[in-house]
Structure 1
Amino acid sequence: MDQAKQIQEIRDFSYQKMSKDKTGHNFDHIERVVKMAKRILKEEHTDPLITIGAAYLHDVADDKLVDDPAKLEREIREFLKSIELSDEQIDEILYITHNLGFSKSLSENPPKLSLAGQVVQDSDRLDAIGAIGITRAVYYGGVYHETIYDPEISPRENMSIAEYRDLSDETIINHFYEKLFKLEGMMNTPTAKRIAKDRHNFMVEFIDEFKAEWDSKR
């Protein structure tokens, strides 16, 4: 099977799995991540099948979205075998999708990604910041009934993965301090670093305006 056909098959598989998501990780998000990965690939030359394949599949087995991520990873592996990817290619794609999430950066020994993985990670992180990122943060918080803002609840620092996943005392605004404001400094590639700067600044301006309006100062 040629590479273009393999990528189309992966896209169709991703659409089947993600099109009904209601947390801000639906197929619109997937498509934006893929488009950004293609943009970064114009400057960062690495295997397009691995990069685009992982971009399409990066949320399919995400442990915050599915009850049994190991089962979904097995399903992805069998699917990729069926479209004639090698074991080596499948292992790299699954390593990327398993390890690119922000939660993995909270471990004592964060995983090291290949250049292909860094491109996908940057693309996913860029979709978490800027105007799109603000919208997704509010949307996700609403799905999980998070408080919008409480000045008495301080943003959490030095979280473990378990603490990061615990949304019981999370607020949507604190999420900017706990994760989104950190992402600009975590980009891997020069392209992503350039794009992240403007998106980060837009979020800072938004939060400043939000707090001014909250306090009726504007």
Structure 2
Amino acid sequence: MPTNSDPNTAVAAGDGVRLDADNLVQRVAARIRSRFAEEASGHDWHHIHRVWRLARKIAVAEGARLDVVELAALVHDIADWKFHGGDDAIGPREAEWLLREEGAGDDLVEPVVEIVATISFKGAGVRQPMRTLEGQCVQDADRLDAIGAIGIARCFAYGGHAGRLMYDPEVPPVLHATADAYKAAKGTSVNHFYEKLFLLKDRMNTATGRLLAQERHQFMASFVERFLEEWNGDEGSAHHGPAVLVEASSDALGGNELRSSGSRS
């Protein structure tokens, strides 16, 4: 598991006791692991662990505060709105409760809760800025785990968990203009690539995140191109590069149309 690079770093606890930052991180990790061990939607402990590891890597490269980054990575999905009736407030509330129960003080709780409150993608037309460098590192890590080979697997895992169709050529993707429209959407798993995943490469916050996103994005784009070829019985046809790279016009961000760099069925 990742550990704090400076195990002697101390943070103030709510009762004035000095806690070792790494010990706090490890105890929070143990609680999160226990809580999410059996989760099957792609938002499980292994997802959280990968985000933790990636966030730490990005934070080291970008010079961010590691204790905040590690704790935020661990609790970023503690109560995702997707599994709580669209309630955006429950995640930050649960994160604060857990951290305070473990003795974390305001200097940790406040920045971590802010990150949890603003980390989620909420539609193509919604660009809620991540204010802090620490939040940018965690958000980039979470988005990196949503793309590439792991992202493909997680997309279909969540689609199956939510009872969504894998693909339906009669149901076009929509670039949602508002968070409410995005939350209400019931599109297919393949549509999710267009509606979110293909957009993430250009929404990375950090130079490190942008660099890491490039290859994952290309792998994912090639997969969807191949998926559509097999769906349509077009294997073996000439390839001209991924035909699934989304370009969103202002109309598309209004949810009215979707354009790609190639044809789609």
For normalisation by structure 2, the TM-score amounts to 0.76
Whole-Å Cα distance in 2 between the matches of residues 66 and 163 of structure 1? 17
Among 40, 44, 57, the residue aligned to 1:39: 57
Instruction: Tell me how far 1:129 sits from its aligned partner.
Output: 0.2
Deviations 1:36-71 (A, max 9, x none): 012112211111110000000000021112356645
Q: Does 1:187 align with 2:204?
A: yes
Among 231, 242, 247, the residue aligned to 1:214: 231
Q: One-letter code of the match for 1:137?
A: C
Q: Does 1:97 align with 2:116?
A: yes
Q: Do 1:30 and 1:56's aligned partners in 2 also have CA atoms closer than 8 Å?
A: yes
RMSD across aligned positions (CA): 1.8
Structure 2 unaligned blocks of 5 or more: 1-18, 236-265
Structure-2 residue corresponding to 1:144: 162
For normalisation by structure 1, the TM-score amounts to 0.92
Deviations 1:49-99 (A, max 9, x none): 100000000000211123566455444323322333221320110110111
Overall identity of the aligned pairs, in %: 36
Among 66, 80, 102, the residue aligned to 2:99: 80
Q: Do 1:146 and 1:167's aligned partners in 2 also have CA atoms closer than 8 Å?
A: no
Whole-Å Cα distance in 2 between the matches of residues 148 and 203 of structure 1? 16
Whole-Å Cα distance in 2 between the matches of residues 93 and 84 of structure 1? 14
Equivalent positions of 1:161-180 (< 5 A) are 161-168=179-186, 170-180=187-197
Whole-Å Cα distance in 1 between the matches of residues 93 and 209 of structure 2? 31
Structure 1 unaligned blocks of 5 or more: none
Whole-Å Cα distance in 2 between the matches of residues 5 and 64 of structure 1? 31
**Which 10-residue stretch deviates more, 91-100 or 122-131?**
91-100
Among 79, 83, 94, the residue aligned to 1:61: 79
Q: One-letter code of the match for 1:192?
A: G
Task: Please give the secondary structure, in 2, of the residue aligned with 1:43.
Answer: helix
Q: Do 2:173 and 2:192's aligned partners in 1 also have CA atoms closer than 8 Å?
A: yes
Q: What is the number of equivalent residue pairs in this alignment?
A: 216
Instruction: Tell me how far 1:158 sits from its aligned partner.
Output: 3.6
Structure having the larger proportion of residues in helix: 1
Task: Work out which of the two has the higher radius of gyration on C-alpha atoms and give 1 or 2.
Answer: 2
Structure-2 residue corresponding to 1:48: 66
